[in-house]
Amino acid sequence: MKEIKVLIVDDSAFMRRVLSDILQQDQRLTVVGAARNGRDCLRKLKQVQPDVITMDVEMPVMDGLSTLERIMEENPLPVVMVSSLTKDGTESTLKAMELGAVDFIPKPSGAVSLDMARVEAEIVRKVKGAAEADTGVLARRHTPVYPRIPVFQKGTKRVIAVGTSTGGPRALKEVLATLPEKLPAPLVIVQHMPPGFTKALADRLDKLSSIKVKEGAHEEELKNGVAYIAPGGTHMTVVQKGERLYLHLNDQPPVSGHRPSVNTLFQSLAAVRGWMVTAVVMTGMGTDGLEGMIQLRSSCPTYTIAESAQSCVVYGMPKAVVKSGMADEVTGVTNISAAIVRALQNQEGVEEWK
């Protein structure tokens, strides 16, 4: 197994030491250096040549966002942000994801060493996952493609389900910001995130999009032209009552390490009758969504769109769908909104369900 060299950037000596101790418990991870701020980080990059950087958001002299921007412009590398759960911290983290950060680690609160011990497996997983990221995709800036608003047949009930993980916030921005305002379907979205970040993500995407984007609420009825993001740390399912669909939230155990889980969302839609489903799987590590997709496609008319390797930060989740043969369409992130619109328009042509 290839060694992964990590540079830790944090203004707290204690945090640098704690992160170093956690990361070096894994045989593949080697901490090759530490920096106190962004300026120190930029000086050390050529010396230690890391594969992954963990970066504090708030630092003196040169903060994490400024440093990240320089790295992505001059020598793109996978960066995992270390963020506080404050309002300013979550907004800065989402900005970092747009600038090219692969993922983030919530900065622990209270008894730091105890909190870090609880999440050390996730920290190791995210750093190892970041090493697989496509740095060319991270540095690339896309030109958005806005689909034309088609004429839809009245009366047909459709729902769009989206699953994504690593690299998802930026991918969601690409897709949601280019969907037409009068979209004749609701969207239900699972983005792997811990509590405290999805509300800020939804609010940010809402400002950038013609459709309404919000964090999902328990027993909320799904409405056309609205995107509902599963709250971080909570499973989100869809329940049918008569001709209408509603959200249900629960805190049942993680599924394959994930809560919210794409599999859980897709499996709930498999029980819906009389609705056509457009299922979208985008950038992310692992295979979450695959088992749910199998159930979904065996139970109701479903058109599946998978993001292509060329635009994925990590080609894991969509790759699993493509390899299984269940992807009806494979396309880059800038074309996904247009693919969704075409699927909605053409879903009258889906093979009659038996």
pLDDT digits (tens, 9 = 90+) for 99-138: 999 999 877 554 445 455 567 888 899 999 999 999 888 7
From 11, 56, 92, 192, the catalytic residue: 192
Average pLDDT estimate for 62-85: 91
From 165, 261, 268, 337, the catalytic residue: 165
* Predicted pLDDT of residue 350: 41
Please identify which residue in the block is written with the tokens 């418990």: 25
Strands (E) in the chain, as ranges, are 4-9, 29-35, 52-56, 79-83, 103-106, 158-164, 187-191, 212-215, 226-229, 235-241, 244-250, 276-281, 302-307, 329-331
* 288 assigned to active site: yes
Predicted confidence (pLDDT) per residue in 30-54, tens digit: 999 999 999 999 999 989 999 999 9
* Predicted pLDDT of residue 188: 98
Sign of torsion over alpha carbons 82, 84, 89, 94: positive
* 66 assigned to active site: no
CA distance 199 to 216: 9
From 209, 288, 311, 337, the catalytic residue: 288
Q: What is the CA radius of gyration of the chain?
A: 20
**Please, are residues 48 and 5 in contact by the beta-carbon 8 Å criterion?**
yes
**Predicted confidence band of residue 249 (pLDDT cuts 50, 70, 90):** very high
Please identify which residue in the block is written with the tokens 């300013």: 88
Domain residue limits, the chain: 4-133, 158-349
Predicted confidence (pLDDT) per residue in 172-192, tens digit: 999 999 999 989 999 999 999
Please identify which residue in the block is written with the tokens 């008569």: 242
* 40 assigned to active site: no
Homologous superfamily of 158-349: Methylesterase CheB, C-terminal domain (3.40.50.180)
Distant-in-sequence contacts of 60-66, Cβ < 8 A, 24+ apart: 60/11, 61/36, 61/37, 62/37, 62/38, 63/37, 63/38, 64/9, 64/38, 64/92, 64/96, 65/92, 65/95, 65/96, 65/99, 66/38
Is it the case that residue 353 has pLDDT exceeding 50? no
pTM as predicted:
0.88
| Assigned CATH for 4-133 | 3.40.50.2300
